[in-house]
Amino acid sequence: MIDFRLDDEHETLRKTVEEFAHEEVAPVIGGFYEREEFPYDLVATMGRMGLFGLPFPETYGGMGGDFTALCVTLEELGRVDSSVAVTLEAGVSLGAMPLYRFGTEEQKTEWLPRLCSGERLGGFGLTEPGSGSDAGAMLTTARLDGDEWVINGTKSFITNSGTDITALVIVAAVTGTKPDGGKEISTIIVPSGTPGFTVSRKYSKVGWNASDTRELSFSDCRVPAANLLGERGRGYAQFLSILDEGRIAIAALAVGLAQGCVDECLRYVHEREAFGHKIGEYQSIQFKIADMEARAHTARLAYYAALAKMGRSEPFKKEAAVAKLTASNAAMDNSRDATQIFGGYGFMNEYPVGRFYRDAKILEIGEGTSEVQRMLIARELGLGVG
C-alpha cells in the first residue's frame, strides 16, 4: 500500500515552519520585497531553527535529517514567500551540499558548521553570461601556478553570492583539456573577500526581490590548490548530480507557491462580493480554484515520487526532471489564475498573489529550464540523436 502521509517527525517540522512562515515571514516580507532588501533577521531566525542544517549530519553542525525535511520546509516557506525559500534552497542545495558531497574532511570541518548554522551562506558559481543551459560552453578558467589556482572569468545570476554573511562561492571553471579534446571542468572554493574576486551590485529583478542575486568576476584571483572541491576534472559530473537533487528542492518550492495561490484565493473569494454574491459562489471561480488545487496536488506527488527514489538510492534523474517541470508549470499557471481571480487587486503589490506571479516565472528557468527538463526526460526514455 502506498502512503503519501508525512511521518510524525516531518509533520512536526512542517507545522513548525508553517507557523514561522505565517507569523514571522508573512507580516514583513512585502516590505523587504518592495525595498529589494535582503531579510537578514529572518535568515538568522531560520538559522537558529536549524533549517540550514536540516539534511546534514550533526558531526558538521547539522540537524541529522534528510532531503525530505528540506523539501517539506521549502514547500511551507514557498506558500508564503519565494525569496526566503530560495535563500534557504540555494544555501543548502548549492552552497553547502557540494561541500558535503565532494569535500575533503578538512573542507567540511572548516566550512559546514558555519553554513549549517545559517551564520554564513554559500553560493554556487556555474552560470555565465554566454552559457546558461549549455554549461559545456563555460569560459571561466583556472590554472595551477605553483600551489595556487589562478581564476579568470565571469559568473552571472548567482544566488547568495553578495550578502554580508556570504562566506564562499564554489566556482566551476575549465582547468584543462580532456584526452578527447573536450573541456576539463573542476570546482574550486573561493572565499569571499579573496583579492581578484569582485561581486557586482544586485540585479534589478522581476521577482525574488528579497533574495540576493549577483554577477561575479574573477581577475587573476588566487586561492590555494587545496581549495579544489572533489576530483580534478569531475566538476561537470559533480554539478550535474547536485542539480538533480536541487531540482527536487525547487519543485517543492514551486509546489509551495502553487498551494499558496490556492490559500490566498480561498480567503479572498469568501470576502469579495460581485453582483450581490460572494464570488466564491460562482461556478466559474470554483472551477478555476479546483484546477489550481489539482495542479498543486499533482505536482506534490511528482516531487514526493522523486524523493522516494532518491531516498532508496535509486536513479532519480527522470523523476527530478518531471517534478521540476510539473511543479514550475503549476506555479506559473496558478499564479496567473490567482491574479485573475483577484482582478485589479491582483495587480497590486500589497496582495501576495501579485508577488507570487512575479516570482513564478523564474521557476521555469532557474536550475534548468523547462526545455532542459523535457530534454532530460526524453533522454531517460531512450529518445535522442542516433
pLDDT per residue over 361-381, tens digit each?
999 998 889 999 999 999 999
pLDDT of residue 369: 92
Grid look-up 573542476 returns: 186
State the cell numbers at 14. Answer: 512542517
Dist CA 114 CA 131 (whole Å): 31
Whether 137 and 130 have beta carbons less than 8 Å apart is answered as yes
**What does the pLDDT read at residue 179?**
87
Q: Report pLDDT for 180.
A: 86
pLDDT over threshold 50, residue 386: no
Helix 67-78 × helix 82-89 angle, to 10°: 160
Taking the C-alpha atoms of residue 304 and residue 133, their distance in angstroms, rounded to an integer, is 25
pTM attached to this predicted model? 0.95
Alpha carbon distance 34, 355 (integer Å) = 10
Res 213: pLDDT: 97
pLDDT per residue as tens digits for the range 35-52? 999 999 999 999 999 999
pLDDT of 279: 83
What the block records as the C-alpha cell of 153 is 572569468
Q: What is the pLDDT of residue 34?
A: 94
Give the active site residues: 367
Could you tell me where the beta strands, DSSP code E, fall in the chain?
121-125, 141-145, 148-159, 166-177, 183-191, 197-199, 213-224, 228-229, 273-274, 277-278
DSSP secondary structure of 288-338: HHHHHHHHHHHHHHHHHHHHHHHHTT---HHHHHHHHHHHHHHHHHHHHHH
Residues 6+ apart with CB under 8 A from 127: 135, 155, 156, 157, 158
Query: Cα(243)–Cα(122) distance, rounded to whole angstroms?
Result: 15
Q: Model confidence over 327-345: pLDDT tens digits? A: 999 999 999 999 999 999 8
pLDDT, residue 163, reads: 97
The confidence band for 137, taking pLDDT boundaries of 50, 70 and 90, is: confident
pLDDT tens-place string over residues 287-342: 999 999 999 999 999 999 999 999 999 999 999 999 999 999 999 999 999 999 99
CATH numbers and ranges of domains, the chain: 8-121 (1.10.540.10), 122-232 (2.40.110.10), 237-380 (1.20.140.10)
